[in-house]
Amino acid sequence: MMNTDKWIKRFTLDYQFRLDSSTLTLYHLSIKNLLDYIRKEIDTITKHDIRNWLGHLIEKGYQPSTINTKLAGVKLFFKYCLDEKVISKNPTKDILFSKVEGKLPRYLSMEKLTKLRALLEGRLEERAIVEVLYATGIRKSELAAMKKIDINWSERLILIPMGKRKKGRIVLFTRECAEHLKSYLDSRTDDWPFVFALVTSNGKRSKHARVVDQRFLIYSEQLGFKMTPHTLRHTFAAHLAKKGMSLECIQVLLGHDKFETTRVYARLYDHARKEMYDEWM
C-alpha cells in the first residue's frame, strides 16, 4: 500500500496548519484504522466497504460521537483524494453521520440580554465586558488576555493573537460595543496594558478569567436565570443565525476547527433558525 501511504502523508502535511494537531492525529488514526480493516487501495474502496467498517466499529462498542469523529476524518481524506484526482468518486459522499443526542447550548433571548444590560447600567467596565463578549463571541480567557494595542478602532477589529490552542484570529465588534468599550477605557487613568482591569475581591488587579466567572454568578442570582461568560458566546452565534448569517461564517468568527464543536453549534444554529421561523409564522 505504498501509494496509499503517500497520499495519507500528503493529506497530513496539507492539513497540519488547517486543523488542530490533536484533531489531525485522530483523523490520521481513523484513516489508518479504516484501511487496515478494509485492506484495499484507496481508489478501489466503495461505499459498501465504508459501511462495513462503520458496522465493525458499532460491534466493537464505540459511541456514536466517537464514530462520527472517525467518519469525519475519513470523509475529509476522501474529499482530499477526490480534489487531488487520486480517486474518481468519493465513497463517503452519501454516508450520513450518526444522530447524537445532547443538550442544546444555552443562549439568551433578546429579552434576557436586555435585562442583563439594564442591570449593569452605569457600571462601565462590566457593561463593556458584556458588550465585547456578545459582539465578538470570544472566550472568557481571550477576553481576559486582550490588550489595548490589539484593538483597531477605525476598522472595529480586535486581534486575538493567542486564542484556544494558540490559534490567532480577528474578530469584529459593533458600534454599540465600541461606544461602551471606549467609554470604559476613557475612564481609566492607569497604564495597565490589558483591555480589562479585572479586580479581584481583595482589590488586586488580575487578568484571570475566573474574575469574570464570579461576576456572572452574581448576575445569575440577581436576574433569576443562569448564565456564564460562555452563554454570551452561544448567544452571539444564535443571534447571528437568526439574522441569516451562514453556519460556516459563524464558525470562522468563533474560531472553530474541531468536528465535535462544529456539530454542537450546528444544532444550535438549526434551533435558532427554527425559532426565527416560528416567530414569523
Give dist(CA 231, CA 201) in Å, integer.
Answer: 23
Crossing angle between the packed helical segments 2-15 and 21-38, to the nearest 10 degrees: 160
Query: What is the H or E stretch that residue 171 is in?
Result: strand 169-172
**What are the C-alpha distances in Å from 152 to residues 128, 138, 194?**
16, 16, 14
pTM: predicted TM-score of the whole model, two decimal places: 0.60
Range from 58-72, 120-134, 153-167 carrying the lowest mean pLDDT? 153-167
pLDDT value at residue 205: 58
Q: Residue 247: what are its φ and ψ, rounded to 5°? A: -60, -40
Give dist(CA 71, CA 31) in Å, integer.
Answer: 9
Do β-strands 151-152 and 169-172 pair in parallel, antiparallel, or remain unpaired?
A: unpaired
What is 110-280's CATH superfamily?
Intergrase catalytic core (1.10.443.10)
Q: Residue 152: what are its φ and ψ, rounded to 5°? A: -105, 100
CA angle 101, 110, 154 (to 5 degrees): 105
Please check the confidence at residue 277 and state whether its pLDDT lies above 70.
no
Q: Read off the C-alpha cell for 82.
A: 477526490
Give dist(CA 145, CA 148) in Å, integer.
Answer: 10
pLDDT-derived band at 133, boundaries 50, 70, 90:
very high
Quick one: which of 26, 39, 38 has its CA closest to 68? 26
Asked if 2-83 and 110-280 have one fold, the answer is no
Range from 21-25, 159-163, 215-219, 237-241 carrying the lowest mean pLDDT? 159-163
pLDDT value at residue 108: 94
98/142: higher pLDDT = 142
Give dist(CA 60, CA 57) in Å, integer.
Answer: 5
* Residue 89 CB contacts under 8 Å (≥ 6 apart), including other chains: 82
pLDDT value at residue 50: 94
pLDDT in tens, 197-250: 775 555 555 556 788 889 999 999 999 999 999 999 999 988 888 888 877 778
Describe the chain by its helix, strand, coil percentages, rounded to 5: 60, 5, 35
pLDDT value at residue 2: 46
Residues in the chain: 281
Mean pLDDT computed over every residue of the chain: 85
pLDDT-derived band at 1, boundaries 50, 70, 90:
very low
Please check the confidence at residue 254 and state whether its pLDDT lies above 80.
yes
Give dist(CA 120, CA 132) in Å, integer.
Answer: 14
Domain boundaries, the chain: 2-83, 110-280
pLDDT value at residue 33: 93
CATH architecture, domain 2-83: Orthogonal Bundle (1.10)
